[in-house]
């Protein structure tokens, strides 16, 4: 049996920041790409490889795409049991 977890866009952005993952965010119909430099639930600072950055209002983000496997990815261990989500905790 698997546990449950609410996986929100905010949690996805936190995961991306904690693990240095590339992200794409959909804002007003445009995809923006980069790495999360900071986010606080109100705004997101997204750094691009060319050294520029964007500041986005979190309320304007319609979707988040992480360049990583899902924290709910299935694994094969004594049947098709679901993996526990990868969640970083603050110390």
Residue 9 host element (H or E): helix 9-19
Range picked from 23-27, 63-67, 80-84 for highest mean pLDDT: 23-27
Q: What is the pTM of this model?
A: 0.69
Instruction: Flag the least confident range among 1-5, 27-31, 44-48, 84-88.
Output: 84-88
CATH fold for the domain made of 1-91 = SH3 type barrels. (2.30.30)
Q: Residue ranges per domain, the chain?
A: 1-91
DSSP state of 59: G
74: pLDDT confidence band, cut at 50, 70 and 90?
Answer: low
- Picking from 70, 71, 87, 78, the residue whose alpha carbon sits closest to that of residue 1 is 78
């Amino acid at each position: 049996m698997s546990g449950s977890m609410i996986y929100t866009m905010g949690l996805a952005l936190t995961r991306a920041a904690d693990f240095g993952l590339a992200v794409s965010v959909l804002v007003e119909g445009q995809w923006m790409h980069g790495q999360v430099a900071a986010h606080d639930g109100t705004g997101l600072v997204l750094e691009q490889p060319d050294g520029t950055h964007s500041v986005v209002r979190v309320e304007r983000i319609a979707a988040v795409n992480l360049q990583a496997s899902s924290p709910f990815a299935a694994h094969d261990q004594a049947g098709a049991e679901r993996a526990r989500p990868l969640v970083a905790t603050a110390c």
